Structure 1
């Protein structure tokens, strides 16, 4: 089974084009089994505003108190996951939504409960559960919500969740979907980027904002042997004629794992 993990950020869900789904079908026609992980940041922020709960971030991670966690889970599993599964159906795909805490799918531990609250990092992935969904002809669509040993739900950064799932599934490919063609430096698309180049671009601010965790997650997935790691567009074809389009993240200089 050739697995490809695709991370769709909440900000790009409504921008996914017909060409994106055409590329997804081409992947499947070439024998790949997609696993989709999604975020939902903008929708979460809107709901927090509605409830009068301030949004706070530390080092790019959302500080998540108990009330915020309730909103995060409600939005991700009750709205965003449904929205993406509906999009999949409308474009001819069979998908199955999975809350990451279901069936111990994403087992996690607190990063720093005192500082961040209910925010976690994945320590184990139930690959058997994900594989079972794929083997029965469905595309898993997974929310980045983990479950801790104490039974608490934990908010997981979606990019880091995708990287962890790609590692656990030994995915041949891991792709991070954005609303741009890939990594742009000075307005120019970079076709390939290694770790030292990425760190330099992050340091000088050429890579900034929400692209930083995507690049870091892509580097992490590549270093762990997740296969070819790409940052791709959700608006244009990202795969055609057995060729990927976007920015390839290189694990070691001159070599894609």
Structure 2
């Protein structure tokens, strides 16, 4: 029996959107309308999020000190309890509530739910209760997407024995994007992408970005963002975008020689 193309099930493309802590606290209407547009264009969307500012406020309130080393928050036993309760108990439900209110069906998840983010310690002696993802339950994500429900994933992993671990938000976003074969990863920040000499760039390649860093056009907090984006690209996600909360910004695609090398 032959099947006509129209009878074949269409595989919907997936986009992972990573919301940073500062962006989370003030999403505007344009974010939700652009989000719906992507859905109408046939994309399944998965959200991952951190919650740095909310965690910092809670740590301060409870007088728990927390240092950052190599961009990773050193997390002791008191701090992991605060990270877990803040992300899962406050930030995640608030975001899910905003999405539902905007008419976007969403459900809050974290590493414990259906073994979504199985994790192990990154370097316990150095970072404490900080984890790295060892496996992602893609079946759970795909099931929700197939039912037009947006998974909203807090960056808390879980060990086999049920210990919560704090995981870097960009790391979770890239791990999820790679696991589900996402077409693109959107890193939502408080700026509209990469700005060179006063102008936002619509597109960039790793070789251009490295040149801009050398020339001093990319500096400060944008350096870790673009370096993270280039790592995700290198790992196999076709495009990474650094965007603002209207979901517009800079698309980073492989350099020509790199894309040929992958074929």
- In the superposition, the TM-score normalised over structure 2's length comes to 0.88
Counterpart-to-counterpart distance in 1, 2:157 and 2:17: 18
* Aligned pair partner of 1:215 in 221, 226, 243: 226
* Aligned pair partner of 1:188 in 192, 199, 202: 199
**Who is 1:137 aligned against?**
148
SS of alignment partner, residue 15 of structure 1: coil
Count of matched residue pairs: 249
**Who is 2:9 aligned against?**
none
* Aligned pair partner of 2:47 in 27, 32, 36: 36
SS of alignment partner, residue 11 of structure 1: helix
Contact 2:21 2:54 in 1 (8 A): yes
What displacement does 1:203 show?
Answer: 5.8
* Aligned pair partner of 2:253 in 225, 250, 253: 250
Distance 1:100 1:210, change over 3 A: farther
Distance 1:100 1:209, change over 3 A: farther
Task: From the CA coordinates, give the structure whose radius of gyration is larger.
Answer: 2
How big is each residue's C-alpha offset from its partner over 1:207-227, in whole Å with a ceiling of 9 and x where there is no partner? 445433432332222222222
**Who is 1:241 aligned against?**
none
Contact 1:159 1:213 in 2 (8 A): no
Distance 1:116 1:172, change over 3 A: same
What displacement does 1:205 show?
Answer: 5.6
How big is each residue's C-alpha offset from its partner over 1:188-237, in whole Å with a ceiling of 9 and x where there is no partner? 21222222333454566644454334323322222222222111110x3x
Counterpart-to-counterpart distance in 1, 2:17 and 2:133: 17
Unaligned runs of 5+ in 1: 239-244
2:243 paired with 1:232: yes
Any runs of at least 4 consecutive aligned residues in structure 1 with deviations exceeding 6 A, and if so which?
254-257
How big is each residue's C-alpha offset from its partner over 1:85-127, in whole Å with a ceiling of 9 and x where there is no partner? 1110121111000012321111222221111111112121110
Contact 2:238 2:253 in 1 (8 A): no
How big is each residue's C-alpha offset from its partner over 1:113-170, in whole Å with a ceiling of 9 and x where there is no partner? 1111111121211101111111222100000111123432111111111011000010
2:17 paired with 1:14: no
Contact 2:16 2:177 in 1 (8 A): yes
Q: Which is worse superposed, 142-151 or 118-127?
A: 142-151
Counterpart-to-counterpart distance in 2, 1:144 and 1:210: 20
Counterpart-to-counterpart distance in 2, 1:60 and 1:202: 18
Q: How does 1:81-120 map to 2 (within 5 A)?
A: 81-120=92-131
Contact 2:44 2:148 in 1 (8 A): no
